[in-house]
Amino acid sequence: MDMNARNPSDEQAAQGNPDPAIMDVRHLSQQQFMQLGVSQIAYVKQVDTQGGTAFAIHAADGTPMALAADQEVAVAAIMQHEMAPALVH
């Protein structure tokens, strides 16, 4: 792989025509990196609460979204909102 090869998005940006659909992940800002997957992925994590064990649903950036009584309900809720579930152990 040629590390000096130009990315098509670099050329478009240089010409003043940036394509938002093309992103060079090697040059993401911390803010851009934190936003990756926020609207597509939700994480499920088992947590202990005062009422017992529950399953927390978090956005990809870590923002708490919901709490479910069991893992199956958490995954179903994520899928119902057209997101991809990811389990955190």
Rounded to whole angstroms, how far apart are CA atoms 19 and 13? 8
CA geometry: angle at 19 spanning 4 and 33, to 5°? 75
Could you read off the pLDDT of 51-83 as tens digits, one per residue?
A: 999 999 998 888 899 999 999 999 999 999 888
Q: What is the pLDDT of residue 21?
A: 60
Q: What is the pLDDT of residue 14?
A: 54
The pTM (predicted TM-score) of the whole model is 0.60
Rounded to whole angstroms, how far apart are CA atoms 88 and 25? 24
Q: Give me the chain's average pLDDT, please.
A: 77
Q: Where are the alpha helices (DSSP H) in 15-89?
A: 30-35, 71-80
Would you state the structure tokens that stand for residue 88, as one six-digit string? 């955190």
Could you read off the pLDDT of 4-39 as tens digits, one per residue?
A: 455 454 554 455 555 556 667 677 777 776 666 667
Q: What is the pLDDT of residue 88?
A: 84
Q: What is the pLDDT of residue 15?
A: 54
Q: 78, 87 in Cβ contact below 8 A? A: no
Strands 52-59 and 64-68 turn out to be antiparallel
Q: What is the pLDDT of residue 35?
A: 65
